[in-house]
Amino acid sequence: MKVIHQTTTQLIVEDRPWLIGIFMIVMALIFLAAGMALASSGKIFGALMMVLIGGGVPLLLGALFVQRVRLTFDRGTGTVTRTRRSVLGLTETSHPLNRVERARVGVSSDSDGTTYRMELKLGSPDDFVPFTTYYTSGKRPERMAQAVNDWLATCQAPIRPVEATAER
């Protein structure tokens, strides 16, 4: 999650979950290697199960959940566009830039701890647009929300500071 382009007329923030993608590929390769080892020792059924389930599940999960998400704030067109790309395709949604009131940090707490994600607060009608579908630990969502609010403030009335909201 980082700012990849920033000018007075355009701000682009992007999330590329490389670590999750690499983890899924490594996990699939481990199961494929184990399946090949079983096949070489003559255990064909075990090898097939290891390859199909052990290798297929991580690849399927990676295809479903590893997505590059980009928010493009463009004063020239007066829009904010959320682009989500995965191996399954491209999804793009746009909103008028003047509907964006501010960026905020959404909070999710459970027995494992507290995680965060950046969200856009839209007005008229009130709505929230999450930057990512998942919550994460660390300060990146707060830094991204602050970068968005700072950029929005360069042409609008002062933006309120980043607020954290609880979600269960």
pLDDT tens figures, 95-151: 999 999 999 999 999 998 999 999 999 998 889 999 988 888 889 999 999 999 999
Q: Which amino acid is at 11?
A: L
CATH number belonging to domain 2-17+67-167: 2.30.29
Q: How confident is the prediction for the chain on average, in pLDDT?
A: 87
Query: What is the per-residue pLDDT for 159?
Result: 44
pTM for the whole structure: 0.72
